Chains A and B, each alone.
Chain A
Amino acid sequence: AQTVTQSQPEMSVQEAETVTLSCTYDTSESDYYLFWYKQPPSRQMILVIRQEAYKQQNATENRFSVNFQKAAKSFSLKISDSQLGDAAMYFCAYTTTDSWGKLQFGAGTQVVVTP
């Protein structure tokens, strides 16, 4: 069975600083996708960034970047130049190409941004 683990229930960061969220996963598959989703309070979940397992290059989206370590089954998210609007729950998620795309989520990390 595949599992996704986020070991940090909460992370605090000051505006303009950088924060890194950790995620590890367990799988025997070779072809899979990893995602970070953001869920602001009382608002819907939105995709932050995605990574295909077959790609060695780490994905980046503006201030968001990942550190994908396939052998270690690690997929961390770095938020640079943090802004107040980054405050949210962040979920790491995983899916395989043969699982209909259903997502397995970690328990989430609450990001608190202080002025």
Chain B
Amino acid sequence: DTGVSQDPRHKITKRGQNVTFRCDPISEHNRLYWYRQTLGQGPEFLTYFQNEAQLEKSRLLSDRFSAERPKGSFSTLEIQRTEQGDSAMYLCASTSPGPNYEQYFGPGTRLTVT
């Protein structure tokens, strides 16, 4: 069990560019979550996958954001036409099947939009 991993750990991009982040959950975990955390705040829910199905999206996830989880394994989060307001830490978490709500978090991807 290597834990939840995220790549890259840091990303600096210019406004208007597209960026993509990757999350690899713990192998047997079928549920995967994305959160966004801005400085001094708690994480905010963005979207949720159960296996390959995206079951919920927050209203925070504008049309510029898209997430996928092909084959129910790793997940990607893409932000198109980045804006300075997108600068944040993007966290991924996963949970095992069953009535277990303990989420295991990755180290996050820190995005800076200049």
Contacts and interface: CB of A to CB of B under 8 A. Distances in A.
Interface of A: 4, 33, 35, 37, 43-47, 50, 91, 93, 95, 97, 100-108
Nearest to A47: B102
B44 A45 contact: no
Contact of B41 (A33, A100, A107): A107
A77 to B, nearest CB: 15
Size category of the binding interface on chain B: 20 to 34
Nearest to A91: B42
Interface of B: 4, 31, 33, 35, 40-45, 48, 50, 55-56, 91, 93, 95, 99, 101-108
B105 A108 contact: no
A108 B107 CA distance: 18
B33 to A, nearest CB: 6
